[in-house]
Amino acid sequence: MRTGKAIMKRTVGPGICSRTMIMYYTTVLVFVYVIATMYTSIYSHRSKIAQLEAALRAGGANADPKAAVDSGDKVAQLQAQLRVQQDELERLKAAKDSKQDSQLQPAPPVVALQAIPVAPPSIEPIPKFEEPKQQPPPPTPEAPKAAAPELPKPAGNADPEKRDAVKAALLHSWDGYKKFAWGTDELMPQARQGHNWL
């Protein structure tokens, strides 16, 4: 485990595999690819120009004047393309050199700021904490007690019968709710599919 951590510490830092170095290598590879492509295209255009000039010299007197004009136009066109590509190649080389110069410049020097002198703190004795003297608690005012009138007790057989009838009606409605509507209303009592009608 220690070896793995040591290897990670060595490879992750500002070495070869850091992010900036990978970007730098990628940029250099792109420039090399562009320069190589431009060089091969220039070389192919030069060889075409050399072939056309050789054909003009060889054909000389018995060559068709119209063909000579056409090949002269081709030569001029190829030479113009060659000049454009050479200019592009020079521009890319200059850009690559300036990019490398800008990346390899040393970092600006670090300017050390002078520390502002701070006066040493004055040492003063800390006052001792004095506990407050115990005082008797303040008297609590007594709230007047509420006097509710006493209600008369229900008397007779009518009251228990009425109470039982109300209880039976409530139990009946609750049983109906549980049997037919439990879990299907907007309240969703047991996480069933309820409906919110709002």
Q: Say what the pLDDT of residue 97 is.
A: 83
pTM over 0.75: no
Is residue 10 located within the same domain as residue 96?
yes
With tokens 């792109």, the residue in question is 30
The number of domains in the chain is: 2
Query: In sequence order, what DSSP letters do the residues of the chain get, joined into one string?
Result: -HHHHHHHHHHHSSSTTSHHHHHHHHHHHHHHHHHHHHHHHHHHHHHHHHHHHHHHHHHTTTS-HHHHHHHHHHHHHHHHHHHHHHHHHHHHHHHHHHHHHHHSSPPPPPPPPPPPP-PPPP--PPPPP-PPPP-PPPPPPPPPPP-PPPPPPP-SSHHHHHHHHHHHHHHHHHHHIIIIITTTSTT-TTSS------
The verdict on residue 110 lying in a domain is: no
- Classify residue 169: in a domain, yes or no: yes
Last residue of a domain, one of 103, 138, 172: 103
Q: Which domain holds residue 48?
A: 2-103
At residue 33, the pLDDT reads 93
What pLDDT is recorded for position 191? 53
Does 90 lie in the same domain as 9?
yes
One domain for residues 11 and 81? yes
77 in Cβ contact with 49 (< 8 Å): no
Nearest 5°: CA angle at 167, between 162 and 173? 130
Whether residue 24 lies inside any domain: the answer is yes
pLDDT of 87: 94
Task: Give me the amino acid identity at 50.
Answer: A
What's residue 198's pLDDT?
Answer: 43
| Residue written as token pair 């039982």 | 164
Residue 182: per-residue pLDDT: 66
What CA dihedral angle connects 55, 61, 66 and 70, to 10 degrees?
A: 20
Which residues of the chain are under the pLDDT cut of 70?
1-16, 60-71, 103-107, 151-158, 182-198
Please report the pLDDT score of residue 45 as a whole number.
86
Residue entry with tokens 């004047």: 65
In a domain, 143, yes or no: no
Same domain? For 15 and 95 the reply is: yes
- Tell which of 76, 103, 130 closes a domain: 103
Assess if residue 133 is contained within a domain.
no
